[in-house]
Each structure stands twice: as structure tokens, then as C-alpha cells.
Amino acid sequence: MTTTSWNHSSRLYAVLAVCLLLAAAVAPAAAVSVGETDVPDSAAVGSEVSVTIQLTELYREPSLEEWELAGSTELENPTWTVVFFDQTGSKIGQESFGGQEFSGATVAASDDIDQIEVQLRGTVPSVTEYTYDPHQRFTAATLEQVPPGGGSNELASEEVPYFTEDSQSARSALDAAASAIENAGNPNEASSTFDLAVNAYESGNFDNARQLAQEAQNQAERAQQQDNRNQLILMGVGALLVVGLVAGGFLYWRSQQDSNDRLG
Amino acid sequence: MKLALIGFGQAGGKIVDKFVEYDSEKNTDIVRAAVAVNTAKADLMGLEHIPENNRVLIGQSRVKGHGVGADNELGAEIAEEDIDEVQGAIDSIPVHEVDAFLVIAGLGGGTGSGGSPVLAKHLKRIYTEPVYGLGILPGSDEGGIYTLNAARSFQTFVREVDNLLVFDNDAWRKTGESVSSGYEEINEEIVKRFGILFGAGEVEEGGEIAESVVDSSEIINTLTGGGVSTVGYAREEVESPSNNSSGGGLLSRLTGDDDDDQLDTAHTTNRITSLVRKAALGRLTLPCEIDGAERALLVMAGPPAHLNRKGIERGRKWLEEQTGSMEVRGGDYPVRGSGFVASVILLSGVTNVPRIKELQQVAIEAQDNIDEIREESEDNLNDLIQDDDDELESLF
């Protein structure tokens, strides 16, 4: 019985070891790698933003001598600029594209291209769907590698949280409410009001969301005050109990003494 | 019974001090006022419970606060001279609230021995309330001068008070005690007896009411007629609710439940009669033959459940037989929550007291001896300072 179970487990260990070895062998086989990227942390709707993505290790995994770079974005009125560098880091060429999608920037080893920098400028689009958690985002840039035979590999995809003035103020109200609720130990009433506020936010009803968030925050604070008060009352009762016990004990002790027995 | 206590001299002051302590500690409410009078400043300073302005130092012009040195004639003289100072302290006592005065003094010393009869006389002249004395007799080993003082003071004190309660240190002396602890214990015994006796008639608010009350008037009537009184005391521990493990914990004590109702009546009765016998035939404050007593009072004190009328009646009857007096009063003094049942017997007008006779005998001897030695010593002194043939002349 014991030997079989040992056999089982040893086999398991063997399988695990093999898996680990395989993983170690596969891991270095990375595709085209993304170097420095410059993407804004968040962006207001209607503002102009720029995104920069560097690509290196251009001809590994799959080892292609030549391929085409394609890209897409949700930014409006975008301008794509693809800049090529050689191994010494000197710029050797540049191509520009318009439109939310571009393709056809040829990357070939024979052209001495060793690094690519994709620069993109455009206007942040209006929000299609609001989500509180995670923050609603738009795709600022997606880069793909198109091999000569067709098909595509995604190289990079950058998403940026975006907002309007209204949504941002509603969101900060929601954030404040959330932290108040957490501090108060997640009271039920405040949590459900908070859920309603999130719903209102997600359906774009920001005034309502703000109000609900404010209310949730108030409820949470009230709950916390109540909690504090209860705790205080409990402590008071406890203290009274202790005092009572001590006094009672003392009186009992004194009553046990014979000192006030007139006949004692 | 509410008393105005006046302690005269060192022993008197200490006993009154002890009385005040007992009164406040046991909440008996019998001491309405307490005054200490002395010729020695140190003795007054040693008191702890008597208020400062009730401590009267007399005879400052004569003895400068150093006491009279066991000279009771001087004590009496000073008391007479400074009686107004004592009266000044007594004036602050609301006398209308007081049932009696009790003048307490050691009879063997100087100040109390000499001054207390003077004060008693003064009080009797001014107030209608009875004036009782509590005199402490010195032990026979204390010396001839003290015995002489006591014998002379006793004679006078009995004459001047309405009744003289006597406590004989001789009967309470123990061997191997230090002076202070010995007196301390004796004072405690004194206070315990008289505390129960005088506390019997005092009903406090919310307290237990006796079945047959021993009122102040019963005590006063027992003491009327003058003479000398002695007190007997005996007690026995009983299962009080506080140490009764079978029934009644803290809760029943709080709610006042008492399951002592089922106490065996026969047992209770027997205990009471045996306590009465023990008190009367045991150690009295002044040992005497009880069959000569004119009047007697029996007080049974203890938790109400442990007192029964039948027992008290039986004890009273037994006391009548023993004293041969028809004037024997009796009653109960319920003390809720006490762990003891105690009997206190006051025998008033006792006449057959061998100890007093012995005291007087010793006193006469002492007096003769003192006179003799005084005369002799005069001659001896002359012999000493005069030369044999009277040849020398004095300077001037």
C-alpha cells in the first residue's frame, strides 16, 4: 500500500520536473519585444494625447527576415509615425500614416532595420461605456506583426483610462465613499447605496451617482459613529461592571469581617 | 439608650475613646456626646476618637499639665476648682437628647479617682438625668497606694452617683501580658459588655424590633435605687447566614430571605438558658455573690431567629431564683447578621462583694502603714541629721 502510493507520488514529481524543464526551455523564446513606451496614465475626453512605443528584437520568434507592421487605435484623427533605426541607433527612415488603422510598414533585416519607434498622436474619443471598477479604458494603440504569409501576431496593446469632467467628479465621490465604507467595516446599508451609486455611474448618470455616493459616505460615517458610540457604551458598561464587581467584592469582604458585628 | 460619656483621668479617657470607636464602628448610636477630662496633657493627646474640643485639661495652674501623680485628694481639689471648665464642655452636649450621664474613671489613680465623684455630684445637682458611674478597680498587685485610693474613691463615688457600675481589673488580669495590650484587651471587654447593655434599647431606623423590648427605662429602673452594679456576659457562636453553607448565598442575603425559621426551638431555648447561667455565674465585671442582688436585667442579643421568648423567660425565671429578687427584667436585642448569641446580665444593688471588703482591708493596712512610716521616718530623719550629743549648731 505504502509502496504504491510512493510510486504514485514519485511519478507525479517526475512529471512536475519535466514540466518545469520545458517551461524553462520555452521562456527565452520571446517574440518581438516592446522597449520603452510612453503612454499617459489617464486622459480626458477630447484632449490630445501622444503615445510612443519602441520595438526591438525584431527578427526573432518567429524568425522572419521581413514582415509588415500594422496598427490600430481608438484615438480620433490619429497620426502615426513609424521611425526606423539601425543597429547603431541612428535613424534610417520614417513612414507616416493616417487613419485609425494602418498597415504596410515593411520591416526587413536587409534594410538594416534594428529598432522601430511608433509615435501616435490623436484626440481621446468620447466614452462608450462607463465602468467604475475597473476604470473605463480605450485602446490607445495596438501593434501587430503581419508575416508575409498572412495572419498576425499582436505585439503591443496599450489601454488608457479616460474620463469626462462629470465622470471624474462622480468617480472621486465614489472613491471617497468606498474608503469611508471600508473604514466603517463595510456596513450593509452604505454598501448597498454604494452599489446603487456605481450602477448610476455606469449608466452615465453622474449627478445621481454623486448624490448616492455622498449618501453612502454619510451612511458609512454614521455607521462608524454608531459603532464608536456602541463601543464606548460597551466599554462604559464593562467599566461599570468591573467597578460594581470590585465594590460588591469589597462590600462582601467587609460583610465577612466580624468588625461590625456588635456581638463579635 | 443615649449616653453622655465623661471620661475622667487616664483610664476613663481611654475607655471613653474606645467606647466612641465601638459606637461608630458597630453603628450602635449610643454615644451622644463624649468628653475627656484630665490633669495630664499627654494622656489627652493620646486619645484618638474624642473630638479635640471635648478634651478638657484642668488644673493647669496647679500641676502645669503633668497630672496629679496618684494623689486623689489633689485630684478632687483640682476638679472642684476647675469644675466650670468641665461644665463648659458639657454645655455643648444637647442634654435633652441624653438618657443618662456615665462618668467613667479608674479609681486607683489620682485625677479620675478624686475628680469623678466631684463631677458626679456637680452633674446631679444641675441635671435631672440620672448620673451613673463606671469605676475601674485596680488590680491587687498594682500596689497599696492605688488600693487605698480606690477604696476611698469607691466610697465617695457610690455616694455621689445614682448607681456605680464596677469593673475589677483584678478579675481580668492575665499573666504574661504587656501592659498596653493587657489594658487594651480589658478596655475592649469593658466596652463590649456595656455597649451591648446600653445598645439594647436603641432601635435604629430599619433595624429589627425586639419582641420584648429592653427600653432605656428598663435599664434606668434596674439601676435606680443606687448601690453597686456588676455585669455578666457570655456569648456563643451560632451559624449566622454569612457562614451558613447549607442555604442562603449572597442572593438570599441581599433579598433578606432567612431560612432560619426552621431552627430547632428546643435547641435555641437551651442555648439561651445556658448562656444566662454562664453570664451570671461566670466572670462578672465585679465578682460577687449574686443572691444578694436587689434588681437584675437580662438582655439576650443575637440574630432574631436564634432568640426565643421561651428561652428568655426561662432564663429570667432562673435569675429570679438565683438572686432571690422579684425585680428581674428581661428582653431581647435583635442584631441581624451577627454570628453570635450573647447574654448580658446587669445585677444592680449587689451587697455581698468579698472583693470590696478585701480592698478595704488592704487599704486600711496601707493607710496605717503609710502613717506609721511617716511618723517613724520623721524620727529617723532627726536621728540622721542630729549628732549624737547635739553638739553641732545649725547655721541660722
Closest CA to A222 of A185, A173, A169: A185
* Nearest CB to B338 within list A252, A256, A261: A261
Helix axis angle for A188-202 and A206-256, nearest 10°, is 170
CA-CA-CA-CA torsion for B341, B346, B351, B357, nearest 10 degrees? 70
Question: How far apart are alpha carbons B116 and B84 in whole angstroms?
Answer: 14
Q: Phi, psi (5° rounding) for residue A38?
A: -130, 100
Find the Cα–Cα–Cα–Cα dihedral A92, A95, A100, A102, rounded to 10°.
-90
Residue in B26, B208, B240 to test binding to A, most A beta-carbons within 10 Å: B26
- Determine contact, residues A176/A209, Cβ cutoff 8 Å: no
- Chain A: give the shortest CA distance to residue B208, in Å: 14
Give residue for cell 452594679. B229
Higher pLDDT: B32 or B240? It is: B32
* B139 half-sphere exposure, CB direction, 13 A CA radius: 13
Q: Measured between CA atoms, how close is B193 to chain A, in angstroms? A: 9
Domain limits, chain B: 3-199, 226-348
Q: What is the pLDDT of residues B347-395, one digit of tens each?
A: 999 999 999 999 999 999 999 999 999 889 888 888 888 888 888 888 8
For residue A257, give the 3-state DSSP assignment. Answer: coil
Name every chain B residue with its beta carbon within 8 A of the beta carbon of A255: 242, 253, 337
Sign of CA dihedral B183, B187, B189, B190: positive
Question: Which member of A252, A259, A263 has the closest CB to residue B335?
Answer: A263
Cross-chain residue pair A262–B337, CB shorter than 8 Å: no
CA A127/CA B166 separation, integer angstroms: 113
CATH topology of domain B3-199: Rossmann fold (3.40.50)
* Cα–Cα distance measured from residue A97 to residue B353, given in angstroms and rounded to the nearest whole number: 141
Say which CATH topology domain A33-163 has. Immunoglobulin-like (2.60.40)
The backbone torsions φ and ψ at residue A191, rounded to the nearest 5 degrees and listed phi first, read: -60, -45
Of the listed ranges A217-226, B110-119, B197-206, B356-365, the one predicted with least confidence: B197-206
Can you tell me the distance from the alpha carbon of B176 to that of B174, in angstroms, rounded to the nearest whole number? 7
What is each CA distance from B2 to B99, B174, B229, B381, in whole angstroms? 5, 33, 19, 56
| pLDDT tens digits along A200-239 | 999 988 999 999 999 999 999 999 998 899 999 999 999 9
pLDDT 10s digits, B293-331: 999 999 999 888 888 888 999 999 999 999 999 999 998
List Cβ neighbours of B326 (8 Å cut-off, separation of 6 or more). B320
The domains of chain A are located at 1-29, 33-163, 167-253
- How far is Cα B356 from Cα A77, in angstroms, rounded to an integer? 135
Is the CB of residue A263 less than 8 Å away from at least one CB of chain B? yes
- Give yes or no for B25 touching A (CB within 8 A): yes
Cα separation, A51 vs A143, in Å, equals: 12
Bridge partners (DSSP) of residue B229 are: B165, B348
Q: Which amino acid is at B294?
A: E
pLDDT tens digits for A40-98? 999 999 999 999 999 988 887 777 888 889 999 999 999 999 999 999 989 999 999 98
H or E segment at B313? helix B309-323
For domain B226-348, say whether CATH 3.30.1330.20 is its number.
Answer: yes
- Give the pLDDT confidence score for residue B86 in this predicted structure: 93
- CA-closest candidate to residue A137, choices A239, A39, A11, A251: A39
Residues in A closer than 8 angstroms to B250, CB to CB, are: 252
Please give the backbone phi and psi of residue B201, each rounded to the nearest 5 degrees, phi first.
-85, -5
